[in-house]
Amino acid sequence: MINLFRSYNPLNILWLAVLVIALRIGYIIGAPDKLEFVFVESFARLLVPVSYEYALTPFLNVLLAGALVFAQALLLNKLVNQFNLLGKPSFLPALMYVTISALFTPFLILSAPLICNFLVIWMLYKLFSLYKGDDIKSSGYDLGMIVAIGSLIYLPFIYMFLAVWIALIIFRPFNWREWIAVILGYATIFFFLAVLYYLNDRFHTFYKIWLPLGTQFPNHISINNYTYVLLAPVVFILVLSVFKLQQGFFKSYVHIRKAFQLLLIMFIIAGLSFYVKRQFQLNHFLLCVVPVAITFAYYFLYTTSKWFYESLYLLLLAGIIYFQFNTF
């Protein structure tokens, strides 16, 4: 499987589609009668004045989620190859994205974090372009708007604002105008939301949008035991990927080193921002899939022991499918 996707062969797109379906069959068979889908935060509900939460059947919900994952995988693959993050073209980023985005059953259905991954990929296109840009104030403005749109869909996405500013530190010499442009872009979206609140006589509640940001960070979270079992191969591959990346880190171009630094920052920010939601939701960690998929792809592209990396990937794949049929 890994060897197949190591080559940049357009036929891999068909195999990728087959894998997307195969990784969802187990869940479709035992799917509940109803699946809720909420793609905007409650404070932005005025933007969608219709009832949509249960408009899709479970089958259509999972099918559409799979289609979104497939599209995101191809976009991510294009991003990685366009900026030459791995040093050679392949379909491994797409393979890793499709695999990791099926890791847990909450990942398999439509959710706000899944939709936000389109914005994460869009942000990366713009952030990786900062390095060679002369005047990037317009890009900063666009990035601020993207973060704001993501915040309307899923409030924890607001912390990607920090990733944008850190990217400016990593890729650019300090220019206060670029930093202000990001703020203006973010403020533009929420200005129009404030107008909508005013027109609906709800402006006095506008400040409550940001109250969840003051939620205390939890001391512990409750996770099923099978989740830890599935995380074991993921953590193991992640450790191997970090070591492999470290071996060639200083041999890479400056832009590539900066890009992987940014991916690490985005992974940390996305992972820690889960506390904003009152009820812990495992699908939040879909926001971490993009940087993890790129890192995994780097490892599987450059590791040399065929029997080991093929066995490792098949073990991960088998674990995902097994726990879809056996949730205990």
Count the Cβ atoms, other than its own, within 10 Å of residue 235: 10
Site of tokens 């991916």: 263
| Helix spans in 273-305 (H) | 289-302
For the record, the structure tokens of 110 come out as 């439509």
pLDDT at 245: 84
pLDDT at 38: 81
For the record, the structure tokens of 15 come out as 């195999």
pLDDT at 327: 55
Cβ 170 vs Cβ 131: under 8 Å: no
DSSP 8-state class, residue 69: H
Supply angle C-alpha 7, 69, 262, rounded to 5: 75
For the record, the structure tokens of 278 come out as 């009152």
pLDDT by residue, tens only, the chain of 328 residues: 788 888 888 899 999 999 999 888 878 877 777 887 788 888 888 887 777 777 778 888 889 999 999 999 999 999 999 998 888 899 999 999 999 999 888 899 899 999 999 999 999 999 988 877 677 888 899 999 999 999 999 999 999 999 999 999 998 888 888 899 999 999 999 999 999 999 888 888 888 888 888 777 766 666 666 677 778 888 899 999 888 888 876 666 777 888 899 999 999 999 988 888 777 788 889 999 999 999 999 999 888 888 788 888 888 888 888 777 665 4
pLDDT at 119: 95
Interatomic CA distance for residues 114 and 69, integer angstroms: 8
Largest CA distance in the chain: 65
pLDDT at 15: 92
What DSSP letter does each residue of 107-134 carry, written as one string?
Answer: GGS--HHHHHHHHHHHHHHHHHTGGG-S
At 126, which amino acid appears?
A: K
Would the pTM of this model clear 0.85, i.e. be above it? yes
